[in-house]
Amino acid sequence: MPRVKANGIEIEYEEFGASQDPLIILIAGFGEQMGGVEFPSDFCQDLSSKGLRVVRFDNRDVGLSTHFTATVSESGIAPYTLVDISDDVVGLVAALGVDATHLVGASMGGYIARWMAIRHPALVRSLSLIMTPRGAKRGTEAHEPAPQALERMLGKAQAGDRKAAITAYVEAWRSYNGPRFPFDETWVRRCGEYTYDRAYDPSGVARQFAAIIHSPELLDAQAGITCPTVVIHGDADPLVGVDHAREIASRISGARLKLIPGMGHEMPRQAWPEFCGAILDIVRLSDREAPS
């Protein structure tokens, strides 16, 4: 896969579709590598078949992008924030040779996408925000995560042998599942095996979590987002409650809200037509609103 230098680090990425088509960058969530549960190849190919140049990549500290060596202190001080990761995406856009891009951010990736849209509005043509928190400081959220789901999420940052790490990955995603779509354990386990064998680094995942905790508050800042935006969320999300989606949509002018009944903190294959439809609609809206 190709690799570029951007914002002082190296970023591993992969492209789908034709280089002349409009660019859309997929930003993964906490601890997730490209090719994992959130943005598998089939999903990327579905989007690219609609006339988009789709790029997915590894965030810093996971996968094959640059890993840091700093240890998170006992007070949780992080060597970077999500704002820094958003600047990684800015550098990736420049390296890909385009003037602007559409962004899709899942969970933590939704924070990163919003910070880029706030700080570099000319670079962002549209936003699709999937199962992402509203952006208040920890402890002030309107909806507290279900204890088991939060515990399983934090388990990603703990060291373990291959079997224990893969089991933790599977159980985390199982705890996020909503009542509507069956949990595909075979598929999730395969993703866990792939990500472990590709680049397992629990200290990097811990640094990402510290970055979430120590990033600036996004709650009020997102009111400055001006590009067409869609907020996609399951109404049975045990990790990031549906009230987060409603508040994000209310704070971004003109944002659309797409709720998927019975879906949890997940991107099940059965819901891909709804995800892709909502993303394509907001991409087309941004094209219609673009200055001629």
pLDDT given for residue 145 in this prediction: 66
Note the pTM of the prediction, 2 decimals: 0.94
DSSP secondary structure, 227-292, as one string: S-EEEEEETT-SSS-HHHHHHHHHHSTT-EEEEETT--SS--GGGHHHHHHHHHHHHHHHHHHS--
For the chain, domains (ranges, CATH) are 3-289 (3.40.50.1820)
pLDDT (tens digit, 0 to 9) for every residue of the chain, 292 residues total? 799 999 999 999 999 999 999 999 999 999 999 989 999 999 999 999 999 999 999 999 999 999 998 877 655 677 899 999 999 999 999 999 999 999 999 999 999 999 999 999 999 999 999 999 998 765 444 556 666 766 777 777 676 799 999 999 999 999 999 999 999 999 999 999 999 999 999 989 989 988 998 899 999 999 999 999 999 999 999 999 999 999 999 999 999 999 999 999 999 999 999 999 999 999 999 988 776 5
pLDDT given for residue 138 in this prediction: 55
Q: Which helix (H) or strand (E) holds 13?
A: strand 9-16
Label residues 121-150 b or e (16+ Cβ within 10 Å = b): eebbbbbbbbbbbbbeeeeebebebbeebe
- How is residue 221 annotated by DSSP? G
292, burial (CB in 10 Å: exposed 0-12, middle 13-18, buried 19+): exposed
The SS3 assignment for 210 reads: helix
pLDDT given for residue 249 in this prediction: 97
pLDDT given for residue 137 in this prediction: 66
